[in-house]
Chain A
Amino acid sequence: MPNMLKIEKIEKYYGSRSSLTKAINNISFDVEKGEFVAIMGASGSGKTTLLNCISTIDKVTSGHIFVDQEDITKLKGGKLNKFRREELGFIFQDFNLLDTLTAYENIALSLSIQNVPANKIDEQVKDVAKKLNIESILNKYPYQMSGGQKQRVASARAIITNPKLVLADEPTGALDSKSAKMLLESFNYLNKELSATILMVTHDAFTASYASRVIFIKDGKIFSEINRGNSQRKEFFDKIIDTVTLLGGDLNDVI
């Protein structure tokens, strides 16, 4: 399978020369098309910085990031926005839904900013809503929804454009365990049935256990990497916990 995402020796430094913080210190890895990869690490390990660099919200200090063979570290200005809106889908911890718009309008927005004709938008929104089981709340406003519903609306918004890569930043961070489970089931559905490539950042072992591969990051470097292979989710979860223990127990809130 071709690489959907290829990360080559990227580094990200913050601060001045006198007090340098290496948020990312020489990280390389690949994500294949249709993979569901989780990145784990304690707070401050650099995982969010990594995600920001991939999503072009932040810029790397050195190294290259290829999305579908295109070097996105070389993109600028308008092209960057175009890339972001056409090739990537985002799911954020705090949902980032526009509170003045209904669920329907929030989902439609990511198509309308691509100037997709209105009749197509309507069709696609209804289609994706059906798949994520949010048809009944399409006309509700964010403040009328539960956290899980909000996050599924956000997921719908992220995948409606058929992005090459879906980036999720702590998607279950603000959800109770039941909603989290429902959301992750939806992720599985997106991954398996719609073959979406998902890269998810989390510090929660349960959330990570839904992925097909987990990459552990510590102090800006890759610490280890485990594959789910054919094992059950429960087994995989135990493996993750083992690695977390190995990491030094920095992840206090693993479950």
Chain B
Amino acid sequence: MMLFKLSLKNLKKSIKDYTIYFFTLILGVSIFYIFNALDSQTVMLNVSKNTHDLIDLMNQILSGVSIFVSLVLGFLIIYASRFLIKRRKKEFGIYMTLGMSKRKISLILLYETLSIGVISLGAGLVLGIICSQAMSILVINMFEADMSQFAFTFSNSAMIKTIIYFSIMYLLVMIFNTLSVSKCKLIDLIQAGKKNETVKIKNPIVCVLVFIIASCILAYAYYNVTVGVNNLVEFSDLLIQIALGSIGTLLIFWSFSGLILRLVSSSKRVYLKGLNAFTLRQLNSQINTTVISMSIICIMLFMTICILSSASSIKTSLSTNLKKLTPVDIEITKPINAKKTYYKPVTEEQDKNSKTSIRKSLEDLDFDINKNFKDIVEFSSYVDDNITWEKTLGKEKEKIKKDYPYLNLQGKEILIEISNYNKLAKLYNIKTYSLEDNQYMIIGDYKEMTTIRNRALKSKTPIEINGKTYLPKYTECQDGFIDISANHINTGIILVPDKALENSLEAVKYLFANYKTENDTKKEKQKIEDKIISLENHPNSNNTILNASTKITIYEASIGLTAMATFIGLYLGIIFLISSAAILALKELSESSDNKERYMILRKIGTDEKMLNKALYRQIAIFFFLPLSLALVHTIFGLQVCNTILETFGRMNLLTSILTTSIFLIIIYGGYFLITYFSSKNIIKEK
């Protein structure tokens, strides 16, 4: 019992010293709970089946992410506790000289970890349960569900999951602690308090060399992800860039402090001003002992910024795209000559029926098209064996092949008669076009592809259909699309003069329409939508291939996607941020208490309190913002990759995403920075 009392007392003492650590643990527990409790909050929402499927998917992904998050948190906890043990070597040394066995010391630590665990779990769960109510409101909002469904939720399973995951982490910490205590030698423990610090000064020339090498590595990786982004075909190519970036980061931090010390100390004017020499030396030793953690933190911050800004840009661009890209309620397509043109195996019956019109097929399924649809537009698209990517790229083919090796040059182009497209464009309320007899044009809005096509159009590449040659009317792809969707996914459709396709192969029949309702309400539309969905169960439904995409499903899918992006972004972003900020804060706080003596000396020789605080502030600020600034540089280039990956969602809205991300950064990272500064100031204060 004596041991337990001792550990409780220690705990009390360290709570005061390491408020930040406890705070981070509690935050970690509560965030873990909140995101795992989403499950139970979304389950009771009154939304359509489609949305529910998406929510299920989201929850599955979130629980996968949770495993990753628990790894990050586990790393943080083990790092922190190892760190705290190191700081208490002297104390353990005293226990051991008094005759306490290592087993008993381990027991003290065990009790301590247990108490920390119980307290942080308890407090974290309470905080999590409270905060998850706020999350409920966000969830309801996101899925556009009824606000009246808001109710106090408590997720039993999330709580149990949180307890299990964190118990495992604490168990690991206990094992680690026991191991590190059993490895200790008494003489080291006793002498741990004596700071016989040998100042390791790195060779400045080596530092400069390493710094230059590191910069080159980073520049090479930057180059690859911006200018050479099209060569990054496989995911592994991207991983190589990330690895290069990580190595570069590590080397930068390894050489940075030596380099700066060298640079600044060569200018006596700056170096010998006020406490600059002292601050620089402090930073130098601090950075030198934290190269690896600094690099990890830098990369975590980089990922955080990328994740948060991508999530927020997905959210904003999706909602603007939706309005523009789904102008009608439904689009039904049907492959004609199914055997030749459809990408899936086709039955004889289906092939036979593929020639009939969509109207007729719907009638076969007992669906009354005149009663349910209005504003109907119908036409077909064509393919031609002669018109492949290879042909439309013309002379540019070889060069483009080199730049975009993954492009399928044998892919057949979609051909549509201009008057048919104009009919649809009128319905969509977008721009219509006209063509001369010997002209063709391409419409497209997927930027990656249109840039490729523009190269061919610029060199006036002719195409030949049924023996007749056509020249491009425009030197660039024009804006336009036919399929309704949530994103800009039109990789290019060739528009040709009417009658040009008379001998070409008919590929797909299209039918676009709006739902015929009396009052244009959501309920009425949903009713028609349900009818269409139920066609799937009609006994004749297997005889024809009909595909439909509707505004409602696209909306639901994109809401789900938005929610997924937002929640996963928030989850990972917050965890990464608090982990990295907490490691920095811990390191800095312990540094301050180690350096109490030094500040005492400075005070004794008459340094102004203001000057001391300024030096401390500068030191902590540089320590905090060094990894952040390198992360920001990484981000400038890294966001290009995110941008390319997210191309289909449309252009990133940089301003909003940067704004959202900086709000998060300022609140969390800045908060940790301020708390660290004020606690450090307190630690070095004269008693």
Q: Which residues of A line the B interface, CB within 8 A? A: 55, 57, 77-78, 81-86, 88, 90, 92, 96-101, 105, 108-113, 115, 117-119, 121-122, 141, 143, 157
State whether the Cβ of B1 lies closer than 8 Å to any Cβ in chain A: no
Assess the B275–A113 pair: CB atoms within 8 A.
Answer: yes
What is the CB-to-nearest-CB distance from B265 to chain A, in angstroms, rounded to a whole number?
9
Contacts of A99 on B, CB cut-off 8 Å?
A: 195, 197, 199, 598
Contacts of B284 on A, CB cut-off 8 Å?
A: 100
User: In chain B, residues 26-83, which have Cβ atoms closer than 8 Å to a Cβ of chain A?
Assistant: none
- Among residues of A, the one whose C-beta sits closest to the C-beta of B608 is A81
Given that A100-B598, A105-B277 are contacting pairs, would A81 and B607 also be in contact in the complex, using a CB cutoff of 8 Å?
Answer: yes
CA distance A86 to B605 in the complex (A): 9
What is the CB-to-nearest-CB distance from B26 to chain A, in angstroms, rounded to a whole number?
35
A82-B608, A105-B281, A113-B611 known; 13 new pairs, CB 8 Å cut-off, are A78-B609, A78-B610, A81-B609, A85-B605, A98-B598, A99-B195, A109-B602, A110-B605, A112-B277, A113-B274, A113-B607, A113-B608, A143-B197
Contacts of B274 on A, CB cut-off 8 Å?
A: 112-113, 115
Most buried by A among B195, B604, B611: B604
**Binding site secondary structure of chain A:** helix
CA distance A121 to B284 in the complex (A): 23
**What are 8 A-B contacts defined by CB distance under 8 Å?**
A77-B609, A81-B603, A81-B608, A82-B608, A98-B278, A99-B598, A100-B197, A100-B281
What is the CB-to-nearest-CB distance from B191 to chain A, in angstroms, rounded to a whole number?
14
What is the CB-to-nearest-CB distance from A51 to chain B, in angstroms, rounded to a whole number?
12
What is the CB-to-nearest-CB distance from B283 to chain A, in angstroms, rounded to a whole number?
10
CA distance A53 to B648 in the complex (A): 75
CA distance A105 to B278 in the complex (A): 8
Contacts of B609 on A, CB cut-off 8 Å?
A: 77-78, 81
Assess the B606–A85 pair: CB atoms within 8 A.
Answer: yes
Contacts of A109 on B, CB cut-off 8 Å?
A: 275, 277-278, 602, 605
- Among residues of B, the one whose C-beta sits closest to the C-beta of A99 is B197
CA distance A90 to B195 in the complex (A): 22
Assess the B606–A112 pair: CB atoms within 8 A.
Answer: no
State whether the Cβ of B205 lies closer than 8 Å to any Cβ in chain A: no
Contacts of A143 on B, CB cut-off 8 Å?
A: 196-199
State whether the Cβ of B431 lies closer than 8 Å to any Cβ in chain A: no
Assess the B269–A101 pair: CB atoms within 8 A.
Answer: no
Contacts of A117 on B, CB cut-off 8 Å?
A: 269
Contact with A along B172-203 (1 / 0, CB 8 A): 00000000000000000000000111110000
CA distance A143 to B199 in the complex (A): 8
User: In chain B, residues 275-291, which have Cβ atoms closer than 8 Å to a Cβ of chain A?
Assistant: 275-278, 281-282, 284-285
Given that A81-B608, A113-B605, A113-B606 are contacting pairs, would A101 and B277 also be in contact in the complex, using a CB cutoff of 8 Å?
Answer: yes
Instruction: Report which of A78, A105, A115, A157 forms a contact with B605, defined as CB distance below 8 A.
Output: A157
Interface residues of B toward A: which range? 20 to 34
Assess the B272–A118 pair: CB atoms within 8 A.
Answer: yes
Contacts of B195 on A, CB cut-off 8 Å?
A: 99
State whether the Cβ of B142 lies closer than 8 Å to any Cβ in chain A: no
State whether the Cβ of B344 lies closer than 8 Å to any Cβ in chain A: no
Instruction: Report which of A84, A97, A141 forms a contact with B606, defined as CB distance below 8 A.
Output: A84
8 shortest interchain CB distances as A-B pairs: A85-B606, A84-B606, A100-B281, A118-B268, A118-B272, A118-B269, A96-B601, A112-B272
Contact with A along B600-639 (1 / 0, CB 8 A): 0111111111110000000000000000000000000000
Assess the B605–A101 pair: CB atoms within 8 A.
Answer: no
State whether the Cβ of B154 lies closer than 8 Å to any Cβ in chain A: no
CA distance A101 to B197 in the complex (A): 11
Contacts of B281 on A, CB cut-off 8 Å?
A: 98, 100-101, 105
Contacts of A92 on B, CB cut-off 8 Å?
A: 604
State whether the Cβ of B13 lies closer than 8 Å to any Cβ in chain A: no
CA distance A45 to B486 in the complex (A): 87
CA distance A100 to B610 in the complex (A): 21
A-B CB pair tally, cutoff 8 Å = 96
Assess the B604–A96 pair: CB atoms within 8 A.
Answer: yes
CA distance A141 to B602 in the complex (A): 17
- Among residues of A, the one whose C-beta sits closest to the C-beta of B686 is A57
Given that A118-B269, A122-B268 are contacting pairs, would A100 and B605 also be in contact in the complex, using a CB cutoff of 8 Å?
Answer: no
Contact with A along B232-271 (1 / 0, CB 8 A): 0000000000000000000000000000000000001101
- Among residues of A, the one whose C-beta sits closest to the C-beta of B281 is A100
CA distance A92 to B607 in the complex (A): 16
Most buried by B among A98, A108, A110, A115: A98
CA distance A101 to B285 in the complex (A): 11
Assess the A81–B273 pair: CB atoms within 8 A.
Answer: no
Assess the B278–A100 pair: CB atoms within 8 A.
Answer: yes
What is the CB-to-nearest-CB distance from B288 to chain A, in angstroms, rounded to a whole number?
11
What is the CB-to-nearest-CB distance from A140 to chain B, in angstroms, rounded to a whole number?
10
CA distance A121 to B605 in the complex (A): 16
Instruction: Report which of B197, B277, B604 forms a contact with A108, defined as CB distance below 8 A.
Output: B277
Assess the A88–B606 pair: CB atoms within 8 A.
Answer: yes
What is the CB-to-nearest-CB distance from A185 to chain B, in angstroms, rounded to a whole number?
24
CA distance A110 to B604 in the complex (A): 11
CA distance A109 to B602 in the complex (A): 9
Assess the A85–B278 pair: CB atoms within 8 A.
Answer: no
What is the CB-to-nearest-CB distance from B225 to chain A, in angstroms, rounded to a whole number?
39
Contacts of B199 on A, CB cut-off 8 Å?
A: 99-100, 141, 143
Contacts of A96 on B, CB cut-off 8 Å?
A: 601, 604-605
CA distance A105 to B261 in the complex (A): 13
User: In chain B, residues 411-433, which have Cβ atoms closer than 8 Å to a Cβ of chain A?
Assistant: none
What is the CB-to-nearest-CB distance from B228 to chain A, in angstroms, rounded to a whole number?
44
- Among residues of A, the one whose C-beta sits closest to the C-beta of B195 is A99
Contacts of A57 on B, CB cut-off 8 Å?
A: 604
CA distance A57 to B268 in the complex (A): 31
CA distance A81 to B610 in the complex (A): 10
Contacts of A101 on B, CB cut-off 8 Å?
A: 277-278, 281
Assess the A84–B277 pair: CB atoms within 8 A.
Answer: no
CA distance A118 to B609 in the complex (A): 22
- Among residues of A, the one whose C-beta sits closest to the C-beta of B285 is A100
What is the CB-to-nearest-CB distance from B53 to chain A, in angstroms, rounded to a whole number?
61
Instruction: Report which of B268, B602, B603, B606 forms a contact with A119, defined as CB distance below 8 A.
Output: B268
Contacts of B285 on A, CB cut-off 8 Å?
A: 100
What is the CB-to-nearest-CB distance from B545 to chain A, in angstroms, rounded to a whole number?
77
What is the CB-to-nearest-CB distance from B390 to chain A, in angstroms, rounded to a whole number?
68
Given that A99-B197, A141-B199, A143-B199 are contacting pairs, would A90 and B605 also be in contact in the complex, using a CB cutoff of 8 Å?
Answer: yes
Assess the A81–B278 pair: CB atoms within 8 A.
Answer: no
- Among residues of A, the one whose C-beta sits closest to the C-beta of B603 is A81
Contacts of A122 on B, CB cut-off 8 Å?
A: 268, 272
Assess the A78–B601 pair: CB atoms within 8 A.
Answer: no
What is the CB-to-nearest-CB distance from B457 to chain A, in angstroms, rounded to a whole number?
65
Contacts of A85 on B, CB cut-off 8 Å?
A: 605-608
Contacts of B268 on A, CB cut-off 8 Å?
A: 118-119, 121-122
CA distance A92 to B196 in the complex (A): 18
CA distance A118 to B601 in the complex (A): 22
Contacts of B198 on A, CB cut-off 8 Å?
A: 141, 143
Contacts of B197 on A, CB cut-off 8 Å?
A: 99-100, 143
Contacts of A118 on B, CB cut-off 8 Å?
A: 268-269, 271-273
- Among residues of A, the one whose C-beta sits closest to the C-beta of B270 is A118
What is the CB-to-nearest-CB distance from A80 to chain B, in angstroms, rounded to a whole number?
9
What is the CB-to-nearest-CB distance from A121 to chain B, in angstroms, rounded to a whole number?
5
- Among residues of B, the one whose C-beta sits closest to the C-beta of A115 is B274
Assess the B269–A84 pair: CB atoms within 8 A.
Answer: no
- Among residues of B, the one whose C-beta sits closest to the C-beta of A121 is B272
Most buried by A among B197, B284, B606: B606
Most buried by B among A78, A81, A85, A88: A81
CA distance A122 to B276 in the complex (A): 15
